[in-house]
Structure 1
Amino acid sequence: MVKRTLLFLLCLWLGRTLLGPPLCSPDPHSWQELDSKIRATVRKLPGKTGLVVQDLSSGKSLSISGDDLFPAASVIKIPIMAAVFHESREGRIRLDEQMVIESRFKVGGSGILKQSPEGSKIRIGKLVFLTITQSDNTATDMLISRVGMKRINEVMKGMGLKRSCLRRTIWDFKSMDRGMDNLTTPAEMARLLRRIYRGEAVDKESSARMMEILKQAKRDLIAKAVPPGIPVVHKTGQLAGNVNDAAIVLAGKTPYLLCIMTRETDDAFAREAIQEITVMVHRFFVSRKP
C-alpha cells in the first residue's frame, strides 16, 4: 500500500514538473490569456510544437508556429480523402468502383484490411471510410495507388495547401529512413478542415460526407479530452516522436478548430499536453458569453 502511494505521488510530481498544472489553474477568459497559458504548456514539452486555434463563428484565431512544417503522420489521410472526393466529382473515379486487394498493398500498422484475402474486392468509398475511421494503412495505400501521388499533391495545392506534400506511401520505411516524409503545417490542416466545415472542400455534398466520416474516427487525443456527447470531426496521426491531431469540435454555439502537431518530442508527454491544451481551449470557448 505504501509503495503504491509513493508511486502515485512520484507520477503526480513528474507530471506537474514537466507539464505544469493547467487543469487546476483558472480558465482563460481572453485570447491573450489563452495564448499565454498554451505557450506555458508548449515550452515544457521537448521538441517542437505547432498549433492553430480558431473560433469558427467569428474567424478569430491564434497560432503558435502554425506555419512550420511537421511530419504529417496519419493526418495526411485527410487531404487524401479530399482528393478522392475531388476526383469523384470530376468523374475520374467512382466511389462505388471496386479495387482488388493485392499483396503489394498490404502493409503493417493500423487497420484491418491487411487481413483480407488477396483477390477480394472492396469499394473505393469503403477504402475512404477505413482510411479515416480505422486509420487503415492498407486502405490508404490503395487510394494513393488509384488516385496517384502526383495528382493528390495537385489537388492539395488547389485547395490551398501550398506547403503540404505527400512524398511517400504510408508504410514506406525506406523512404522515411532517407528523410522523405509526408509534410504539412497546422495552419494548412486547419485551412482544409475549415473548408470541409463550410462546405467548400470539393462541394457541399462531398464536404458533408467527409464531415460524417471524420466524426466516426476514434475518439483519441483532442476528442478524448472533450466531454462525451460533443461531436468531434478529426484525424490523429502518430509516429515515433511525432504526435498530431487536427480537429473541429462542434460545441453547440461555439464550434472551434484545433490543430496541434509535434516533432522530435516525447510521445507520452505530447499526448498528455495535447489533451491538457484541449481542455484549456474547450473551457475557453464554452465559458464565453454568446
Structure 2
Amino acid sequence: MALSSRRLQPLALVALALLAGCDRGSPPATDAATAEAPRQAPAWVAALEREVEAIDAAMPGDFGVYVHRLGPPADAGGLDLGGRRAWYLSSTIKVPVAIAVLEAVDAGELSLDEEMQLKASDFVDGSGDMLQHDPGERFGIGTLLEKSLRDSDSTATDMLIRRIGEDHLNARIAAWTAGGFGQVTTIQQVRRDAYGALHPKVAGLDSRQILALRQAEAGEPRLQALAAALGVPRAELGDTSFEQVFEGYYARGLNSATLPAFGRMLERLAAGELLSPDSTALLLGHMRAITTGSRRIQAGLPPGADFAQKTGTQQQRACNVGILDPERGRDGATVVVACAEHFGELAQAEQAFQALGRALGAMPSAGG
C-alpha cells in the first residue's frame, strides 16, 4: 500500500482552477461577509478517492492515479494520488511522440504521406509486426503513427523519434506541460541504458544483438544471454539481478513523469489546444482502437464507454492513460493517468486497473 505516504487533497485541483480564473487586476476582497467560501469538490471526487485507496490497499506495491474532469464548476474537479513524484511511463511515451509528429504535420513541416526507410538500427523488441519486415522497406509516417499507437510497435515509434529528433521531442513536451517529465528516449535506448550499467561493452552491441536478447526469458537467463553476446563470463556483469538492473534504470528518471504532468498534456489535447481538429481526431481514433488495452481500465468500464487510451508495460511497471468522453473536450472530458509498480504478477496490476475502470464507470456523467 502506498497512498498513506503520498495522499494529496483532491480539493487542490479545484483550488488551482479557481486561482486560474481570478482577475489579476481586481483588488483583493476585504469584506469577510461578502467573501465567497471555497467551492467544494463534486461528490464524485471523494467517492472515487475512497475507491482508489481500496484498490491500492489490495494491490501489492504502489498504485498511482490522477483523474481530472474538465467542464463547468458543478462537474469539474479531480484528484491526484501520485505522490508528487515521477512514475515510469513505459510505452505511454508513444502518446507525446504522436502529438509531436502531428504537431509537425499541422505546421507543414512533414506529411503523413512522407515515407521513411526502415533501417537495421531501428529494430527493437516489442509488440506489432515491424520486426517481420526487412531493412530497406519504406513506410509512410501515417502508417508508422498507426502502428506505434494501435499496436504499440516500438520499432515504428523509434522511427518516428528518428524523424522528428529526440531533442525536439523533449523540447515540445516541456512546452506543453511546463515541466514534470524526465528525458524521453527511444525505446531501444531504454535497453541500452539499462544493460549498459552492467558492462561498458554493451555500447558496442548492434540493434540485432540487443534484439536477440528477447529470446531469453526475462531474469537470470536474459543476463546470461547478455554475457554471451558480449563475449564475457557472466561473473563480469556482477551479482546484480535482472530486477535490480531495471530498478537502477528507473531510478535515473528517464522516460518518467509526474502523473499531473502527463495529465496536463492530455487535458490540453482534449481541449483542442495542442493539435488541429483533424490531427486531434486522428490521434484519438488511433487511441480508441489500440490492441493492448482489453485487460486494463477498459475491462472495467461500462460497455460502449468512449475511452481513448494507451498502455505501457515493462519490468514491474505498468501504466494506462487516456481520455474518457474525449468528444466532450473542455466541456466534460475526463483525463485518467494510472501507473502501478512492484506488483509481482502483471495480473495483479491488471486487476487494479480493471477496478479503477469500474470506479470510473460509477462516476456520474458530466453534466448529469
Give the alignment of 1:220-231 within 5 angstroms.
220=294, 221-231=296-306
Match of 1:115 in 2: 132
Give the alignment of 1:1-290 within 5 angstroms.
30-58=44-72, 59-65=76-82, 67-160=84-177, 162-172=179-189, 173-177=191-195, 178=197, 179=249, 180=252, 181-218=254-291, 219-220=293-294, 221-250=296-325, 255-266=333-344, 267-286=346-365, 290=368
Query: Is the alpha carbon distance of 1:212 and 1:167 closer, same or farther for their aligned partners in structure 2, counting shifts above 3 Å?
Result: closer
Q: Helix, strand or coil: the match of 1:63?
A: strand
CA apart distance, 1:48: 2.5
Q: Which amino acid aligns with 2:350?
A: R
The answer as to whether partners of 2:147 and 2:156 remain within 8 angstroms in 1 is yes
The answer as to whether partners of 2:147 and 2:153 remain within 8 angstroms in 1 is yes
Length, aligned pairs only: 262
TM-score (norm 1): 0.83
Q: Which amino acid aligns with 2:338?
A: I
CA apart distance, 1:44: 3.1
RMSD over equivalenced CA pairs, Å? 2.3
Q: Which amino acid aligns with 2:348?
A: F
Any unmatched runs of 5+ in structure 2? 1-42, 198-248
Q: Which amino acid aligns with 1:262?
A: A
The answer as to whether partners of 2:177 and 2:262 remain within 8 angstroms in 1 is no
CA distance in structure 2 between the partners assigned to 1:176 and 1:203 by the alignment: 37
Per-residue CA shift, 1:60-104, capped at 9, x if unaligned? 111102642011100000000011112223333222110001111
CA apart distance, 1:261: 0.9
Q: Helix, strand or coil: the match of 1:271?
A: helix
Q: Helix, strand or coil: the match of 1:111?
A: coil
Query: Is the alpha carbon distance of 1:85 and 1:165 closer, same or farther for their aligned partners in structure 2, counting shifts above 3 Å?
Result: farther
Q: Which has the larger radius of gyration?
A: 2
Q: Helix, strand or coil: the match of 1:159?
A: helix
CA distance in structure 1 between the partners assigned to 2:274 and 2:283 by the alignment: 9
TM-score (norm 2): 0.66
Q: Which amino acid aligns with 2:192?
A: K
The answer as to whether partners of 2:59 and 2:348 remain within 8 angstroms in 1 is yes
Query: Is the alpha carbon distance of 1:30 and 1:81 closer, same or farther for their aligned partners in structure 2, counting shifts above 3 Å?
Result: closer
CA apart distance, 1:56: 2.8
CA distance in structure 2 between the partners assigned to 1:251 and 1:175 by the alignment: 36
CA apart distance, 1:289: 7.4
Q: Helix, strand or coil: the match of 1:114?
A: helix
Q: Helix, strand or coil: the match of 1:171?
A: helix
Identity %: 25
Match of 1:3 in 2: none
The answer as to whether partners of 1:235 and 1:245 remain within 8 angstroms in 2 is yes
The answer as to whether partners of 2:308 and 2:326 remain within 8 angstroms in 1 is no
